[in-house]
Amino acid sequence: MVNATINGRAVCVPEGTTIKEAAESVGIRIPTLCYFKDLNEIGACRVCCVEVEGETRMLPSCNNPLREGMVIHTNSPRARETRRVNVELILSQHDCHCATCVRSGNCALQKLSNDLGILVNPYEEDLPHGIHAKWTTTFPLFRDAKKCIKCMRCVQVCEKMQSLGIWELTGSGGRSTIDVSYNRRIRDADCALCGQCVTHCPVGALRERDDVDRALEALADPEKITVVQIAPAVRTAWGEAFGLPREQATVARLTAGLRQMGFDYIFDTAFSADLTIMEEAAEFLERLKAGALAQNPMFTSCCPGWVRFLKSQYPEMTPLLSTAKSPQQMFGAAAKSWFASRLGVDPKKIYCISIMPCLAKKAECDLPTMRNEAYGKDVDLVLTTREVDRLLRSDNIDVCALPEEPCDDPMGVGTGAGVIFGATGGVMEAALRTAYFLVTGENPPADAFRDVRGERGWREADFEIAGQLLHVAVASGLGNARRLVEAVRAGEVRYDFVEIMACPGGCSGGGGQPIRDGEELAYTRGAVLYGLDEIADLRYSHENPSVQALYREYLGAPLSEPAETLLHTEHSGWFMPGHPDYEKR
Amino acid sequence: MYIETKSHAQTVVEGLYRDVERRIAASPPGLCPVDMALSFLRLCHAQTCGKCSPCRIGLGQLTRLVESVLEGEATLDTIDLIEKTARVIADSADCAIGFEAAEMVLRGVRGFREDYVEHIVNNRCITGLTQPVPCVSLCPASVDIPGYIALIHEKRYADAVRLIRKDNPFPGTCAYVCEHPCEARCRRSMVDAAVNICGLKRYAIDQAGVVPAPPCAPETGRRVAVIGGGPGGLSAAYFLSLMGHKVVVYDKLEKLGGMLRYGIPDYRLPQHILDADIDCILSTGVEVHTGVAIGQDIPFERLEDEFDAIYLSIGAQNDKKIGIPGEDSTGVLSAVELLRAVGSGNPPDFTGKRVVVIGGGNVSMDATRTARRLGAASVTCMYRRRVEDMTALAEEIEDAAAEGCEIVPLQAPVAIEADETGKVCAIVTRPQQIGPVGKDGRPRPINAGTPDLHTPCDVVIVAIGQGIDSKTFEEAGIPTVRGAISALPDSLVQGKPKVFAGGDAVTGPATVIRAVAAGKVAAANIDAFLGYHHEISVDVEVPPARLSTAPACGRVQPGSRPAAERVCDFELATCGMTEGEAMQESSRCLRCDHFGYGNFKGGRQERW
């Protein structure tokens, strides 16, 4: 243990504890901007500097361990001046038009500045301008150079956690800034669009392309039938922005809000998650039977960030992906075919909007392979959870006062298996439940495959189904995905089936989810989904009555010809940047 | 893993860094300190890695603030903001790139705050470019350096000597022993390296032969006494004589020349070179009384009665004591004593003796190398700091080492041991380690904590500086401060209307050229004091500047005679330039008297 004094108070903490953590242990808060535990402990912003008696210079408290006998002041005149001047300096290079910022009210810099009571900045505004302030308006990931405070978190999260290194500190000297690595433009980079840089940004420098206006335009168009799907993970987090407790921020309350805004049909992506399971489980068993999994596993395909990752990093492994479309795209395909025919309307009138915890979904719905001559795009528009919150706020919907309302029929029905798609391991668990049924003709216990759950980034489990031993693995976070893929390629591991989600913890920690600075909420939110599964009446995808109706009325059976046409895709039908055929797109 | 190889760009940039280093070294005096601070700040900001905000943003904001001062857009509060910002950056930047840059700004805003204020209040700079020719402005005597280099290039060596004499009557002496401050900021450094000005002067002297002094102005009938026949006194005497005044020089030693004769060994300054300079000076009609000590042989008051003005240039010839036990043992002598004995033709015999020299200045090197030439079995120079901290010229240290003298740095003397007969037998020194940088900007030695070093020896020569023997004059009412005579910048001694003083006696031990400059200033002011305004000029036409300057070219640096040969005698140790070298070297001069600011203002001072 180490003993020291902070602001006159004695502290005693284990060796290696940082000054900041030691201060917090006795209730002394030290503000930070760049710091992100275990990810970014580089002392860049110098806002957390403290005065240590006997040291000539101020010390950042985030990355200096407390040492025996230190006498520390966090609020001495010198500490105050250092903190304030450094925040003022950072503000001088930050576009402080908070009223028009997506992060207003949820911005670490805004809060810090307000807390310090900075009303006038003595330093002149010094923002990038001209070409240095520009960014593509069409790419799903948007960066505002004028707001970037160069905390380096995006660089670190992309490199360390996601192993992609899209962001880099570029230039040098006073012109140092963050930009796409290797002097690339973002649209030419192998960005997976996981959005983790967005959720780790302390300010409004990174966000999704804002499509809220397009949703409002669709609402205003009397010719359009708006069909909304709500992804499983959205129900774990959408209420955070309204201060709504998780148990009240249900999909039913969100449905009520969207219905009040005038959307025509509100459905649940859990429905098409179940549909995905029907197709993917059947496909898995088929590949298994054909001996196609002897060397390489089948990879799940429901996470578009992961698909982008695999196609750009290991393009030759693309055939290992399940051909099943993601639940989002299956939903769109079903809505514009089966549902349109049930309504008896021209499918082209249907405007399909999905609410997703994800940025990659925005790119996925625009893929050339995710459309059909009969009705155009499967999904027309993707809004992130954050965008749907903004949409509700823009119409002054008082979500707290809303009653819960069920989703519409028939695509509003999802099983517990479909719901857990939003958490790491959920797709695997749901698929195994149905695969077991398909092989044995009877349901396994619903929790038979819960061994795939957990918070480790790469998990393995073995199960026996009808005498056949299955090796499965689950990974979340692209760094973990890379390790797993490399191990598969090296022959160090062999799996039959692998689920991968690009974001750590899965979609509940998705790049489109509400942001809580400095906190990783994926597993807290994921627990909501497992709780919903536990109390669900239906916990097997194949028992979803609407899915059954869809097959009965429209598709026949999984992997049937209409199912293949509508619900499966050619992953080789498009290219990631860097692929020789990318430019031909 | 792979071996890092420098990219082409990096190689080029590193070349540019060296260019910038040389360029900064060649900065002309008189530039606006605030503007320079701004430029340094920009350079520092360009070095930022970009990680921490105080450095990345703070240095940029400081730049803007300093810029606002220069643009006349700042208020006095801006200075406080600059100081506060720099303070926070110095306090909280993550590495030296940031905190040292801010320290520089802090040093500036505290060190030349009045210039900041002047910019803000009057939108003007305090400083100004008054002397645009770097070599001339850095030469204490303002010798027309580009002029004589041009003459050398035309092989007009006598004219070169005459031009030098306009400002410095010791061209020969300076050609051999000047510390050449003129070369420090030579603009040629921006191209490749400073011109070897001193070497060129020596070439001119060696080629010119005897060059007679110019004629004197008509006699004024006024009488000036000069006390001290060193370079300062004789310079004053020369110019006053040219002005038509009657000058009488008193020196307490047998021969004129002061430290030039009795302090600088012959292998550096041959006696005939010094004699030639003195002969020329005396040819102007200067009256000389050597072996006469004012205050002892003649009372100072008598001079005050008999002369219209007096110039005190007694130099700094006293020994300084170390103040350690055993310093009075037989065999301990000061460098001044040793060099004076050699200069007077009574050299001690060090044959077979082990000699230790204490000190790290030029005098200690002179003592070291002289001891070697006097037959010492070994010569060890001990210094309490590192070799790079020695104030001696680097080439002197190298030459001493080449001559087999050992330099032992980081040893502070603590005692001298003597045998039962009272003769030196050893010196005890305490090992030092180099420590923190002191207020003078030099790192201080501190005790290393290791055991004392015991060095057996037969002779100890103390060369730790000289003092001024001013007691006699103090008694005569001349004001002094810690032994140094107090004189105003115009050489006047306050409270003594007709007495002027200058040189080492006023400044403490310095260089030949500073003494010459002091003599020159004194001559001008004594002339004015006597009611005249004589002008000193020379009718030498300086060749016009050549239109194009030589492309980048190495600096000629002639070497020395082989060490083994030169330690056997007191003949000149260093070699001069060949004609080819002198022509090449003289062609390197950029003629700042003509190009740049020089042909606008201050380029050539033809008379003073």
Distance in angstroms (rounded) separating the CA atoms of residues B137 and B129: 11
**Residue whose token pair is 């080439």:** B395
Across the interface, do B50 and A126 touch by the CB < 8 Å criterion?
Answer: no
Two tokens, residue B300: 């100072």
For chain B, the straight-line distance linking the first and the last C-alpha, in angstroms and rounded, comes to 69
Do A534 and A390 lie in a common domain? yes
Q: Which residues face B543 on adjacent strands?
A: none
- Three-class SS state of B416: strand
Best interface-test mutation with A: which of B41, B59, B61, B92 has the largest number of A CBs within 10 A? Answer: B92
Using CB atoms, which residue from A43, A58, A89 is nearest to B57?
A: A89
Residue A125, in any domain of the structure? no
A46: nearest CB among B50, B53, B84 = B53
**Which positions ≥6 away from A47 have C-beta within 8 Å?**
A31, A32, A33, A34, A83, A86, A87, A90, A112
Question: Is A552 within a domain?
Answer: yes
- A584's CB contacts (< 8 A; 6+ apart) are A575
How far apart are the C-alpha atoms of A324 and A273, rounded to whole Å?
11
Q: Domain residue spans in chain B?
A: 31-122, 134-212+547-599, 223-317+468-529, 319-466
Residue of chain B whose alpha carbon sits nearest to that of A43: B52
Query: Is position A425 within any domain?
Result: yes
Which residues neighbour B546 within 8 Å (Cβ) at sequence distance 6 or greater? Answer: B587, B591
> Are residue A308 and residue A379 in the same domain, yes or no?
yes
> For the stretch A325-355, what's the b/e string if a residue is b when 16 or more beta carbons lie within 10 angstroms of its beta carbon?
bbbbbbbbbbbbbbbbebbeeebeebbbbbb
CB atoms B88 and A93 under 8 Å: no
- Kindly report which listed range (A419-423, B5-9, B483-487) carries the lowest average pLDDT score: B5-9
- B57/A93 CB distance under 8 A: yes
Q: Are B553 and B581 in contact (CB under 8 A)?
A: no
Same domain as A216, residue A179: no
Specify the CATH number for the domain of residue A321: 3.40.50.1780
Contacts of A86 in chain B (CB under 8 A): 53-54, 58, 88, 92
Partners of residue A150 in chain B, C-beta under 8 Å: 50-51, 53, 56
Alpha helices in B452-587 (DSSP H): 471-475, 504-507, 512-529, 563-566, 579-587
Residues A314 and A373 in one domain: yes
Helices (H) and strands (E) in chain B, counts: 24, 18
| A216 and A196 fall within a common domain | no
CA–CA dist B142, B121 (Å, integer) = 34
φ/ψ of residue B3, rounded to 5? -80, 125
CATH code of the domain covering residue A191? 3.30.70.20
Candidate from B52, B56, B88 with C-beta closest to A82: B88
CA–CA separation, B453 and B431 (whole Å):
7
**Whole-angstrom Cα distance, residue A214 to residue A393?**
16
Contacting residues for B203 by C-beta, under 8 A, at least 6 apart: B152, B157, B576, B577, B579, B581, B582
Q: CA of A282 to nearest chain B CA: how many angstroms apart?
A: 47
Q: What is the pLDDT of residue A4?
A: 96
- Please give, rounded to a whole number of angstroms, the shortest distance from the CA of A49 to a CA of chain B: 7
Q: Is residue A559 part of a domain?
A: yes
Residues A200 and A225 in one domain: no
Asked if B356 and B457 touch (Cβ cutoff 8 Å), the reply is yes
Last-in-domain residue among A208, A227, A258: A208
Strand partners, B249: B226, B288
**Interchain CB distance below 8 Å, A176 and B59:** no
In this prediction, residue B384 has a pLDDT band, given cuts at 50, 70 and 90, of very high
Contact predicate A332/A267, CB 8 Å: no
Closest CA to B561 of B573, B569, B577, B570: B573
Does the pLDDT value for residue B282 go beyond 60?
Answer: yes
State which residues of chain A have pLDDT below 70: 584-585
At A418-444, the pLDDT tens digits run: 999 999 999 999 999 999 999 999 999
Of B48, B58, B81, the CB nearest to A173: B48
Among candidate residues A158, A173, A208, the one where a domain is terminated = A208
> Given the structure tokens 């000069």, which residue do they identify?
B226
Residues whose CB is less than 8 angstroms from the CB of residue A325 and which lie 6 or more positions away in sequence, other chains included: A276, A301, A333, A370, A378, A567, A568, A569
CATH 1.10.1060 assigned to domain B134-212+547-599? The reply is: yes
Q: Give dist(CA A331, CA A354) in Å, integer.
A: 9
CA distance B11 to chain A (A): 18
Beta carbons of A81 and B47 less than 8 Å apart = no
CA A186 – CA A217 distance, rounded (Å): 28
Fold type of domain B31-122: de novo design (two linked rop proteins) (1.20.1440)
Classify residue A579: in a domain, yes or no.
no
> pLDDT tens, B262-273?
999 999 999 999
Provide the 8-state DSSP code for A322.
-
In 3D space, the residue among B208, B206, B200 whose CA is nearest the CA of residue B580 turns out to be: B200
CATH entry 3.50.50.60 includes domain B223-317+468-529 = yes
CB count within 10 Å of CB B490 equals: 14
A568, β-bridge pairs:
A324
Range of the domain at A86: 2-92
Is A154 a member of any domain? Answer: yes
Q: What is the pLDDT of residue B321?
A: 87
Decide if A124 and B49 are in contact by the 8 Å CB cutoff.
Answer: no
Same domain assignment for residues A334 and A432: yes
Same domain, A323 and A389: yes
pLDDT band (50, 70, 90) for residue B129:
low
pLDDT, tens digit, for every residue of B536-558?
Answer: 999 999 999 887 777 899 999 99
pLDDT at position B546: 86
Amino acid identity of B270?
Answer: P
CA-wise closest residue to B58 among A117, A52, A30, A81: A81
Which residues of chain A lie closer than 8 angstroms to B91, CB-CB?
49, 57-58, 78, 82
Kindly state whether residue A114 falls inside one of the protein's structural domains.
no
Residues on chain A touching B99 (C-beta within 8 angstroms): 57
Q: What is the Rg, in whole angstroms, of the alpha carbon atoms belonging to chain A?
A: 25
End-to-end CA distance of chain A: 61
Alpha carbons A71 and A75: distance in angstroms, whole number: 12
Task: Answer yes or no: do A173 and B50 touch at CB < 8 A.
Answer: yes
> Domain check: are A196 and A219 in the same one?
no
pTM: 0.86
In chain B, which residues touch A (CB < 8 A)?
A: 45-54, 56-61, 63-64, 81, 84-85, 87-88, 90-94, 99
In CATH, what class is B319-466?
alpha beta
**Which tokens sit at A443?**
């349901």
Q: Please report the DSSP string for A409-430 in residue order.
A: TTTT---HHHHGGGSTTHHHHH
Cα(B19)–Cα(B482) distance, integer angstroms: 44
What is the number of structural domains in chain A?
Answer: 3
Which value, to the nearest 10 degrees, does the dihedral of the CA atoms of residues B287, B293, B295, B297 take? -90
Are B246 and B221 in contact by the 8 Å Cβ rule? The answer is yes
Residues of B in contact with A41 (CB under 8 A): none
Instruction: Report, in this order, helix, strand and coil percent for chain B, each rounded to 5.
Output: 40, 15, 45
Give the burial string for A138-172 (b: 16+ CB within 10 Å, else e).
ebbbbbbbbbbbbbbbbbbbbbebbbbebbbbeee
Before A410, cis peptide (omega within 30)? Answer: yes
Give the pLDDT confidence score for residue B31 in this predicted structure. Answer: 84
Exposed e or buried b for every residue in B564-581, given b needs 16+ CB within 10 A? Answer: eebbeebebbbebbeeeb
Alpha-carbon span B313 to B158, nearest angstrom:
29
Residue A294's alpha-carbon distances to A324, A488, A537, in angstroms, are 20, 12, 37
Residue contact B54–A123, C-beta within 8 A? no
Nearest residue, CB atoms, B53 vs list A89, A172, A177: A89
**Side-chain half-sphere CA neighbours of A323 within 13 A:** 18
Confidence class for position B131, pLDDT limits 50, 70, 90: low
DSSP string for A485-545: HHHHHTTS---SEEEEESSTTSGGG-TTS---TT---HHHHHHHHHHHHHH-S---GGG-H
The β-bridge partners of B439 are none
Task: Based on the fold, state whether residues A338 and A449 are members of the same structural domain.
Answer: yes
The DSSP bridge pattern shows strands A371-372 and A376-377 to be antiparallel
Q: Which residues of A touch B94 (CB under 8 A)?
A: 43-44, 46, 60
Are residues B81 and A174, on separate chains, in Cβ contact within 8 Å? no
Question: Which residue, of A187, A208, A229, is where some domain finishes?
Answer: A208
Instruction: State yes or no: pLDDT of B196 exceeds 70.
Output: yes
CB of A422 closer than 8 Å to CB of A522 = no
Of A282, A236, A543, A541, the C-alpha closest to A417 is: A541
- Per-residue model confidence (pLDDT) at position B602: 65
Among chain A residues, CA nearest to B92: A58
Residue A354 and residue A304: Cα distance in Å, rounded?
14
Query: Which of A222, A535, A503 has its CA nearest to residue A385?
Result: A503
Q: What is the pLDDT of residue A584?
A: 63
| Among chain A residues, CA nearest to B53 | A45
**Amino acid B597: pLDDT:** 79
Identical fold, B223-317+468-529 and B319-466: yes
Q: Are residues A457 and A399 in the same domain?
A: yes
Mutate to test the interface with A, among B88, B99, B103, B106 (most CBs of A within 10 A): B88
- Please state whether beta strands A458-465 and A468-476 pair in parallel, antiparallel, or not at all (unpaired): antiparallel
Q: Same domain for A387 and A448?
A: yes
Distance CA B48, CA B59 (A): 9
State the average pLDDT for chain B: 93
Residue A124: which of B58, B64, B87 has the nearest Cβ? B64
Cβ contact B53–A92 (<8 Å):
no
User: What's the rounded mean pLDDT across residues B115-121?
Assistant: 93
Q: Are B157 and B176 in contact (CB under 8 A)?
A: no
Q: Do A299 and A310 touch, CB atoms closer than 8 A?
A: yes
